[in-house]
């Protein structure tokens, strides 16, 4: 792996993160948003499936590129763009 990184002549940087650090992961920010604004705000109704509700929420999230970009601009994930 080190040889490959060296072969990129500085275009690739490895960042070693702790084994468990959800606050450093933009994916976790997306999931947190889905939980805060979707399934946690309204309990499932009779006959509703959690999987389908989450899929619906993720589909809505895909239509909000500015919001998705904001997950990558959060201070906790600044390491992503500091190159």
- pLDDT per position as a tens digit, 7-24: 998 888 887 878 888 888
Residue 82 predicted with pLDDT over 60? no
In this structure, are residues 77 and 24 in contact, taking their beta carbons and an 8 Å threshold?
yes
Helix extents (H) in the chain: 2-7, 26-34, 50-62, 65-72
Note the pTM of the prediction, 2 decimals. Answer: 0.65
**What mean pLDDT do residues 19-34 have?**
87
**What mean pLDDT do residues 25-34 have?**
89
Give the SS3 label for residue 1.
coil
State what percent of residues in the chain have pLDDT above 70.
95
**What mean pLDDT do residues 21-31 have?**
87
So what's the pLDDT on residue 25?
A: 87
């Amino acid at each position: 792996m080190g040889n490959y990184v060296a072969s990129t002549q500085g275009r690739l940087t490895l960042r070693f993160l702790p084994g468990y650090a959800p606050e450093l992961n933009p994916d976790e920010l997306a999931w947190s948003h889905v939980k805060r604004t979707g399934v946690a705000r309204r309990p499932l109704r009779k006959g509703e499936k959690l999987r389908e509700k989450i899929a619906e929420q993720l589909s809505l999230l895909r239509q909000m590129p500015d919001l998705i970009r904001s997950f990558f601009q959060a201070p906790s994930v600044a390491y992503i763009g500091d190159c």
